[in-house]
Amino acid sequence: MHALAYLKPWEMSIIDRPEPIATVDEVVIDVLATGICGSDSHGYSGENGRRVSGQVMGHETVGRVSAGGTIAAGTLVTFNPIISCGVCEFCRAGDTQVCPDAIVIGVDPSLDGSFAERVVVPARNVVVLSDEMPITHGALVEPLAVGYHAVMQGNPSSDDILLVIGGGPIGQAAAIGARRAGVERVLVSEPNDQRRALLEDLGFATTTPDAVAEDLTAKFGGKATLVVDAVGLSATLGSALRTSVTRARIVLVGMGEPQMTVQPYDLTVGERSLIGSYCYSEAHFRSTAEWVSQGRPELDALIDRLVPLRNGPDAFHDVAKGIGGVNKTLVVSGEALAQISTR
């Protein structure tokens, strides 16, 4: 089968890969579409150093069951890419994302991801989707779950004023997740005009990074009680601290810098809580898949373009360089292009 392989920074190629074979506990999925995640893009450019030559990335996926398991062939599915031990205290609680032995399909070099015609995954990780939903939306379940989990880490309530820092795919997912959680007062800080326009079309208030404090007061009457930093830079965390109330909850989900500088007094004197958020729990992934399956026409706006698998190298280059759209690019198997275009 054909697969898109990382060779070295800024170089990918279509290669031949052996057909995946499912064990008794696995499922082979015919891939329909896979989103290019920020972590994939940063791996491609060499920024995060977590990729090796010959690796097949891809973990934001929708497809149909081909073989294996108890799910009927042809069933529309996505999958949770986190493979965990299943027995530790975190796994038993459904928090597989923090399992000490967890590895991620398409991120760990030992596990081929879904920038390929087919992928094999554990049956327990497969989540069935509705055939009534737009197929492409299935590739959004994973990033939407990241944003939803980040919001839920902050213990949101309908009384909150939420500031989302960063209006890219994860910031968009956090804003949408906040709405799911009943938070109506949401302000998204984003420097890109196109992303702000998209978010406003979705019904969210937006601002620019230099006007956060002013617009929080103008639109909602005060500082943020809950902040989701979907960027993860020293500057954005500093903004979160400066524009939030005493005892605010600040959730850090962005991973823009491996080392950050913070002003500790802004945390201690104001008794603010800094909370980490990584991926999603099993429950948050499955509830997001269920939510998407109900049919959400507004999610069309989150997808910029569909690219055939054969054009994957060019698509990665464009995403890493910021060429073209500002939202999600989906890489699609050639045989699936026609199927997706009919939805």
pLDDT score for 325: 81
Number of CB atoms found within 10 A of residue 291's CB: 17
Inside any domain, residue 32:
yes
Domain that includes residue 116, residue range? 2-134+295-341
Query: Of 207, 143, 153, 208, nearest to 176 (Cα)?
Result: 143
Whether 148 and 288 have beta carbons less than 8 Å apart is answered as yes
CATH number of residue 233's parent domain: 3.40.50.720
Inside any domain, residue 287:
no
pLDDT score for 341: 55
What is the total count of domains within the chain?
A: 2
Inside any domain, residue 283:
no
pLDDT score for 342: 46
CATH number of residue 47's parent domain: 3.90.180.10
pLDDT score for 329: 96
pLDDT digit string, tens, across residues 106-158:
999 999 999 999 999 999 999 999 999 999 999 999 999 999 999 999 999 99
Inside any domain, residue 290:
no
Query: 32 and 63: one domain?
Result: yes
Inside any domain, residue 149:
yes
pLDDT score for 334: 61
Q: How far is CA 208 from the centre of its chain?
A: 23
Residue 71 phi/psi, 5-degree rounding, is -85, 135
**Inter-helix orientation angle 282-293/141-153, to 10°:** 120
Residue at which a domain ends, from 276, 305, 322: 276
The pTM of the full predicted model, rounded to 2 decimals, is 0.95
pLDDT score for 333: 82
pLDDT score for 343: 45
pLDDT block averages, 10 residues each, the chain of length 343? 96 97 95 95 84 95 92 96 98 98 96 97 97 95 99 99 98 98 98 97 98 98 98 97 98 93 93 98 99 95 94 96 89 70 49
Whether 147 and 175 have beta carbons less than 8 Å apart is answered as yes
Query: 188 and 166: one domain?
Result: yes
